[in-house]
Amino acid sequence: MALQAVSWSPAGVPAVDRVDAWREAISATHLPWALRPGQSDGRGPTESLVDYRVGDLALVDCRCGPCAGHRGRAEQARTDTDTLGILFVRDGEELIEAGDERVIVRPGSALVWRSSEAVRFVVPGPLHKWTLLLPAMRVPALARPGVRLIEGSGVRLLIGLLGTTLESASTLDDAMGLPIADAAVDLLTGALPVDAVPGNPTAATWVRVSAYVRQHLSDPELSPARMAAAGFVSLRSLYALFAARDDTPARYVRRLRLAAARRTLERAGTRVTVAEVAHGCGFRDQATFGRAFRAAYGCTPDEARRAANTRTGRSPSQS
């Protein structure tokens, strides 16, 4: 089964309904937005959308004409997830405003915005863009107020991965979705400047600590003391590092373990047991894992893996 995709175009939509239909399509794929179409150039509708589901990420390929819009309190109230949006302009340009920040996004760079922030945009002419939407917890270093522009070789590599994904989407099995999503998140994290870690001047310490945690996530003996040693800091400094991010070492490790477990369950389904996933992700016992998973995702690990079988059409006989 290919990566799941939903397409939209104005073809077949009556002209009188076209603006409302476009507003609904944008909000359905890019989170809720208040949208104002711009002045048409008379050459007919140019809008189109293709929405791909890549693991736990969404990748939207969008073409449009002049328009403007914003996300304010009303749109934020209709958004039930804490989401990061990464905007890649492929052709044309888009002006983004958030607070006192004003950024023009052109081909070759990427702009990060967050669903909880008030954001405005203006598209002055024909535009082709990609928008990558991901849970904010996937890249904690970006989960801070404001928009920011990121550039460099990491962004170019990420653009290459997304382009290959779009080109190959019709032939890629959806089991590839989560590995592609993981690779995209890793490239995005690598594209961040070293001073992107908020609230603490010792960004290099965070890089060392977070890398160590990811490398040892499956080890149930992973502890704050070992994390501090890996970062070459005292235990007190480690807790200060996490406090600056409104986090703790234990919460951070648990969050990463649960996310890894969820990806494994959704990728493998009933080809793995819940106990195997729990132990493989560093949980000491299945009961603790089950309670934490349900609290985080609203379903049990077993329900998550069986739902994966339903999506991929695998037989539940392996459960």
Buried b / exposed e across 152-162, counting CB within 10 Å, b at 16+?
eebbebbbebb
Cα 56 from Cα 254, distance rounded (Å): 18
Cα 299 from Cα 288, distance rounded (Å): 14
Domains contained in the chain, CATH given = 5-194 (2.60.120.10), 203-318 (1.10.10.60)
pLDDT score of 88? 96
Are the C-beta atoms of 54 and 266 separated by less than 8 Å?
no
Residue 287's identity, in one-letter code, is A
- Distances in Å between the Cα of 11 and the Cα atoms of 21, 52, 197, 266, 304 are 11, 20, 45, 35, 37
pLDDT score of 44? 47
Cα 200 from Cα 317, distance rounded (Å): 51
pLDDT score of 182? 81
State residue 33 phi and psi, 5-degree precision. Answer: -135, 145
Per-residue pLDDT of the chain (319 residues; tens, 9 = 90+): 467 788 888 877 888 888 888 888 888 888 899 998 876 554 445 789 999 988 888 999 999 989 999 999 999 988 888 899 999 999 999 999 988 788 999 998 899 998 988 999 999 999 999 999 998 877 766 766 678 888 888 889 999 999 999 999 888 877 788 788 888 887 887 777 654 444 444 566 777 788 788 888 899 999 999 999 888 888 998 998 888 778 899 999 999 999 889 888 888 888 889 999 999 999 999 999 999 999 999 999 999 888 866 654 544 444 3
State residue 95 phi and psi, 5-degree precision. Answer: -95, 125
Map tokens 């047991």 to a residue: 273
pLDDT score of 145? 67
